[in-house]
Amino acid sequence: MNERHTRQEFLGTRSEEIFKNCRVSIIGLGGGGSHVVQQLAHIGVGNFRIFDADHVEDSNLNRLVGATESDVASKTPKTVVAAQLIKGINPRTSIVYIPKKWQGSADLLRDSDVIFGCVDSFSERQQIETAARRYMIPYIDIGMDVHDLGNQFAISGQVILSMPGELCMKCMGFLRDDLLAREAERYGAAGPRPQVIWPNGVLASLAVGIFVQLMTPWHHNHKRVWYLEYDGNSQTVMTSNRLEHLREATCTHFASLDNLGDPFWLPSKAITG
């Protein structure tokens, strides 16, 4: 084992090789995603696909790990900031970076072992989860929000593992039709949402912890479904009690075979050789 990873040797004798060979896609490289790529690079993940259409703005510097004032001046794409962060930690990584909307290059997700979604909207989460289920890829979602309670604010957040064949984010009650409809109604009028670095860091760390348990579990209590709720005011994280009520439930939202593989599979190469 490489000297660098000796302190994480308890993850297994093959852990270094497993991380080096695994392919991880990260969608959204803002406050949450930048923490995720940094931690995955430290752990030794060898193959990244990183997606973000935005460039660095001054308002990002309160939380965007790796970004500097010069990135604001030069309008550096967030993908470039993330790639520099990863390469600075481990120059031997392979990085495919897509400085555009991920939906235009969704085919690059297909051979990912795990997808991280660090996006703002419910509709985008739904789209990522749908793509992940279509290609049998575990999807780890993180997000935070700040709620105005009138005379004070509340910080909350969630980390969800949506595992193919298991409960999806709709089953868990996190994605709901009314929320999606409300979001669609105010499309373009939402304005910038409050975001701060420390909840991003907490949620990203929990997400990376779930990823490591999936790839190189260090204990036997593997969970197939995760829904962690973060209360940023009490600084606590708890498993959502919704899971307790869903113990016997099975997912019906992705049960159809229409949700698996390419809907119109007809590659000419298969026929012509």
Partner 1 sequence: MRVLFKVIDRLLERVRHDLARPHEFAAERVGFFICRTAELAPEGVVVLAYDYKSVEDEDYVDDASVGAMMGPNAIRKALEFALNNKAGMFHVHMHEHAGRPRFSRVDFRESAKFVPDFRNVRPEMPHGALVASKDSLYGMCWYSAVSAPIEIDDFVVVGSPMVVVRIGP
Residues in contact with partner 1 by CB under 8 A are: 18, 21-22, 107-108, 110-111, 113-114, 134-138, 163-165, 213-217, 222-224, 257, 260-262, 265-267, 269-273
Nearer to partner 1, 113 or 183 (CB): 113
Nearer to partner 1, 9 or 111 (CB): 111
All residues at 6 or more sequence positions from 165 whose CB lies less than 8 Å from its CB, including other chains: 251
Nearer to partner 1, 164 or 173 (CB): 164
SS3 180: helix
Q: What stretches of 29-153 show up as alpha helix (H) in DSSP?
A: 31-43, 69-73, 78-89, 122-134
Nearer to partner 1, 200 or 240 (CB): 240
Measuring CA to CA, which residue among 31, 39, 41 is closest to residue 200? 31
Q: How far is the CB of 39 from partner 1 (least distance, A)?
A: 18
User: End-to-end alpha-carbon separation of the chain, Å?
Assistant: 42
Neighbours of 78 (CB within 10 A): 27
Q: How far is the CB of 129 from partner 1 (least distance, A)?
A: 15
Q: How far is the CB of 122 from partner 1 (least distance, A)?
A: 25
The bridge status of strand 114-117 relative to strand 23-27 is parallel
Q: How far is the CB of 244 from partner 1 (least distance, A)?
A: 19
SS3 26: strand
Nearer to partner 1, 149 or 266 (CB): 266
Q: How far is the CB of 20 from partner 1 (least distance, A)?
A: 10
Nearer to partner 1, 88 or 261 (CB): 261
Residue with tokens 């868990």: 172
The answer to whether 201 and 142 are in contact (CB under 8 A) is no
Q: Could you give the CA distance from residue 74 to residue 104 in angstroms, rounded to a whole number? A: 25
Q: How far is the CB of 260 from partner 1 (least distance, A)?
A: 5
